[in-house]
């Protein structure tokens, strides 16, 4: 089940570093796929265009959609499952660049539906996606109907942001719920590079302490890089054992860790469900572009679009 799925896909170095207690705790939490709550309905698939060359990644290319076959499905809760898709060979890998994702395509009642997902890890021979079926979610319903042997179309990997080591002195990562996946991918790449001196402060909001995804991995990163990585956990509803912060990520919380806007050597990265994105940085624009900050928290604080990146 999901315990086996996590062992097969989690980064080996971090998995070995976790204590048995931490590993057991992590295995009770679904590591969520990247993306908003609703499938992306688009008339312009070129919004997912990439500047990468057309190189195969386990059978996928960034330029065209390719059908991958479902090899296994592990249900991890009433509305969530890990879907495994076979790559071009048992030893093939996606070779995902940092801050990259794949796009799923499906036809729903004659309408083309597209949605981005961040695979769990770069495993051999397979691509693993965690998908949660939300009410009235078209793409989630398509995934839920899949059976072993069925196929689905994907393209990728596609890059979201071209990160260069030491491009910034400091970055503030703001994540909500399932949005931790691409945020952590970038944090892991930054801390793995010993030449990269960028400091990181993660503000991570969840509904309850039990909903904090991959917390053991995040905490391990903090313990290994105490001078570079700091984390502030926020929950909507706390319990008696909670020693973190309760409430929403406020404008004051952002400026307290990031400083004032206008610093070209700093950047804010944001990813989370639509309500959080709307409040913190504003929604994305048409055809999945970055959009404007508007009257969001960052907009009211005086940040401009060049200082913020929305995953």
Q: What is the pLDDT of residues 94-131, one digit of tens each?
A: 888 888 889 999 999 899 999 888 787 667 899 988 77
pLDDT tops 70 at residue 22: no
Nearest CA to 118 out of 159, 62, 61 is that of 159
Sign, Cα dihedral of 254, 256, 259, 260: positive
Percent of residues, the chain, with pLDDT higher than 90: 50
- For helices 215-224 and 180-192, the axis angle rounded to 10 degrees is 20
Listed in sequence order, the DSSP H helices in 166-282 are 180-192, 215-224, 251-258, 274-280
What is the rounded CA–CA span in Å between residue 288 and residue 23? 36
Q: What is the pLDDT of residues 152-187, one digit of tens each?
A: 999 999 888 889 999 999 999 999 877 887 898 899
Record the tokens describing residue 171, joined without a space.
């970055």
Q: Out of 47-56, 82-91, 180-189, 264-273, pick the least confident.
A: 47-56
- Residue pair 154/57 in contact (Cβ under 8 Å)? The answer is no
Domain ranges across the chain? 2-159, 170-310
170-310 architecture in CATH?
A: 3-Layer(aba) Sandwich (3.40)
What is the rounded CA–CA span in Å between residue 243 and residue 146? 41
Class assignment of domain 2-159?
mainly beta
Nearest CA to 308 out of 269, 276, 280 is that of 269
pLDDT tops 60 at residue 189: yes
Record the tokens describing residue 77, joined without a space.
């809760």
pLDDT at 19: 37
What is the rounded CA–CA span in Å between residue 228 and residue 131? 32
Mean pLDDT of the chain: 81
pLDDT at 47: 44
- The pTM is what? 0.71
What dihedral angle (degrees, nearest 10) is formed by the CA atoms of 101, 107, 111, 116?
A: -10
pLDDT at 266: 97
């Amino acid at each position: 089940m999901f315990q086996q799925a996590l062992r097969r896909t989690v980064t080996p170095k971090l998995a070995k570093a976790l204590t048995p207690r931490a590993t057991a705790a992590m295995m009770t939490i679904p590591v969520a796929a990247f993306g908003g709550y609703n499938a992306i309905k688009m008339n312009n698939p070129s919004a997912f265009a990439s500047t990468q060359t057309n190189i195969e990644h386990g059978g996928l290319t960034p330029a065209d959609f390719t059908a991958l076959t479902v090899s296994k499905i592990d249900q991890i809760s009433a509305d969530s499952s890990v879907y495994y898709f076979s790559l071009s060979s048992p030893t093939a890998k996606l070779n995902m660049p940092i801050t990259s994702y794949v796009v799923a395509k499906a036809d729903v009642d004659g309408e083309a539906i597209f949605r981005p997902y961040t695979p769990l890890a770069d495993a051999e021979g397979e691509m693993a996606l965690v998908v949660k079926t939300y009410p009235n979610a078209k793409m989630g319903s398509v995934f839920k109907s899949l059976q072993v042997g069925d196929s689905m179309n994907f393209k990728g990997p596609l890059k979201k942001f071209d990160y260069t080591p030491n491009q910034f002195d400091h970055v503030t990562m703001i994540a909500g719920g399932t949005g931790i996946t691409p945020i952590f991918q970038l944090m892991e790449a930054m801390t793995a590079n010993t030449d990269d001196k960028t400091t990181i402060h993660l503000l991570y909001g969840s509904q309850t302490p039990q909903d904090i995804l991959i917390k053991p991995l995040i905490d391990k990163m903090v313990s290994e890089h105490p001078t570079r990585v700091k984390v502030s956990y926020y929950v909507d509803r706390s319990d008696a054992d909670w020693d973190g912060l309760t409430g929403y990520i406020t404008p004051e919380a952002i400026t307290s860790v990031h400083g004032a806007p206008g610093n070209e050597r700093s950047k804010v990265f944001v990813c989370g469900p639509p309500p959080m994105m709307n409040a913190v940085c504003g929604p994305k624009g048409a055809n999945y572009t970055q959009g404007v900050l508007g009257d969001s928290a960052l907009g009211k604080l005086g940040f401009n679009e060049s200082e913020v990146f929305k995953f």
